[in-house]
Homo-oligomer: A and B are copies of this chain.
Amino acid sequence: MSQQAANGVPHRGKVLTLDSMNPNVKRVEYAVRGPIVQRAVQIEKELKEGVKKPFTEVIKANIGDAHAMGQKPITFLRQVLALCSYPELLEDNKFPEDAKQRAQRILDACGGHSIGAYSASQGIECIRQDVARYIEKRDGGIPSNPDNIYLSTGASDAIVTMLKLLVRGEGRDRTGVMISIPQYPLYSAAVADLGAVQVSYYLDEDKCWSLDVTEVRRALNEARQHCNPRVLCIINPGNPTGQVQSRQCIEDVIKFAKEEHLFLMADEVYQDNVYAEGCKFHSFKKVLFEMGPEYSSTLEMASFHSTSKCYMGECGFRGGYMEVINMDPEVKAQLTKLVSVRLCPPVPGQALLDLVVNPPLPDEPSYTTFMKERSAVLAALAEKARLTEQIFNTVPGITCNPVQGAMYTFPRITLPQKAIDKAKEEGTVPDMLYCMRLLEEEGICLVPGSGFGQREGTFHFRMTILPPTEKLKVVLEKISHFHQRFTKEFS
């Protein structure tokens, strides 16, 4: 560590270096905001500075960020948020009565009637009650206890917190966390950060990215040789893969988790994003309770939801919740203590979540507009899901499963051997080379499949279907042409 400085006096290097920092943090990877996105931001700056490019704007289809792609906020949600921010507006006739009532109710539940006060660490009580009622309605009356609801700073926060509770042990006793491949990289990042062991099970691309318990069992048995798998994470509807799991599959997973003594984490942030005919969202909790007390009174699980997705797409507010089921009361007390260290989730995000779980009712003045706006977003997404599959599947070398739900397509791309060799030569991976070239040539920012995991020797990219329909068409066309050009160049 001692170095010779210019003046001849020996000095020590920095306290904090790549060598001396937390090694778990070094292992963290998060492709959704990785090097390709950094380059996209750079290109945007270059464009602003007048640098000539073969395109005039960068289209960031790398992240599920609806507003950034031009989706307008839902009026009712924003009216209530404005009222909560500046309660003087409650005197204003421009705002509908139901918006005012909602705002007043939220303010009354805040310390000093201000969203600027810290809330209870678990979240504002009346909002947790509203969440519980929402879940009960969603699941056909299966009871939900507000004490089991924890509001969070986006779903990300709750997912990391839940994993943190579960992770322990050294060597062969280290906690194994089972995650799908492909996966949303928050999971692999959190597992690395916490020093746990990632246990990968593969989704079946040939069967529309469905989950087969046989494969999960294979992964579990292998993992038991070297770690202690205790958690099974499922994302449904799927990111990056866009599938919606069948009721049967969910039942199989629950049986498996019970048999194998696993804690289940169900990431259901896309629960309103189901588009394909014949597909339906089944919550893990509902299926669990329908399977009878043998399951519903024993299986430990947590389910996650967020204000960032669905029809509202309010990512910036960082709202979300988790519901825990069958959690040991002593562990719950530990969870409550743990979340209190960071004081509370952002209160505007909590307020927003309250509106999402408690939207205008048919007899309220905001109902018609709210439903119109909501339906328009969901209908447009369904149309874009269809369009994406259709156009990609016309391109030789691109194979694309139906986008049954969520906000992404994860098509498989066939890459020429020369491109694979070229990537190796450049010290990168083939799908990264592909996506970088696409960015430089067309201004379209995607995430390489390697950022989510994929079967050895296969290549993919993830694209959101969020751009407005007309722009999405252009993007799909550009990618199709690029793919053909790229294939030709390396053939």
Which A residues are within 8 Å of any B CB, using their own CB? 11-12, 14-18, 20-23, 25-26, 28-30, 32-34, 41, 63, 65-73, 78-79, 81-83, 85-86, 89, 92, 94, 110-112, 114-121, 153-154, 156-157, 160, 164-168, 185-186, 189-190, 193, 230, 261-263, 298, 300, 308, 312-318, 326-328, 330-331, 334, 337-338, 340-349
Contacts and interface: CB of A to CB of B under 8 A. Distances in A.
B119 A334 contact: no
A22 B165 contact: yes
Nearest to A11: B298
Given A317-B346, A331-B17, A67 B154 contact: no
B343 A315 contact: yes
Contacts of A346: 153, 316-318, 346, 348-349
A68 B342 contact: no
Copies in the complex: 2
A117 B315 contact: yes
13 contacts: A16-B263, A17-B328, A18-B328, A18-B331, A28-B338, A82-B86, A85-B85, A117-B316, A154-B342, A154-B343, A316-B347, A317-B347, A346-B346
A157 B160 CA distance: 14
A76 to B, nearest CB: 10
A328 B14 contact: yes
Nearest to A300: B15
Nearest to A330: B18
B328 A116 contact: no
A190 to B, nearest CB: 7
A317 B341 CA distance: 16
Given A15-B263, A165-B16, A334-B26, A114 B157 contact: no
A327 B166 CA distance: 33
B193 A112 contact: no
A67 B117 contact: yes
A312 to B, nearest CB: 8
B85 A230 contact: no
A164 B21 CA distance: 9
A190 B68 contact: no
A298 B15 CA distance: 10
**Most chain B CB within a 10 A radius of its CB, from A79, A119, A347:** A347
**Most chain B CB within a 10 A radius of its CB, from A18, A65, A261:** A65
Contacts of A347: 316-318
A73 B72 CA distance: 29
Contacts of A26: 334
**Most chain B CB within a 10 A radius of its CB, from A69, A94, A117, A345:** A117
Contacts of A25: 164-165, 334, 338
A19 B325 CA distance: 19
**Most chain B CB within a 10 A radius of its CB, from A71, A79, A298, A315:** A315
B157 A342 contact: yes
A441 B481 CA distance: 77
**Most chain B CB within a 10 A radius of its CB, from A20, A314, A348:** A348
A313 B120 CA distance: 16
A15 to B, nearest CB: 4
Given A15-B300, A153-B318, A73 B114 contact: yes
A21 B331 contact: yes
Contacts of A348: 85, 316-317, 346, 348
A315 B21 contact: no
A120 B340 CA distance: 26
A472 to B, nearest CB: 15
Given A21-B334, A112-B69, A28 B186 contact: no
Contacts of A41: 120
A114 B189 CA distance: 28
A69 B119 CA distance: 13
B116 A341 contact: no
A316 B119 CA distance: 7
B317 A68 contact: no
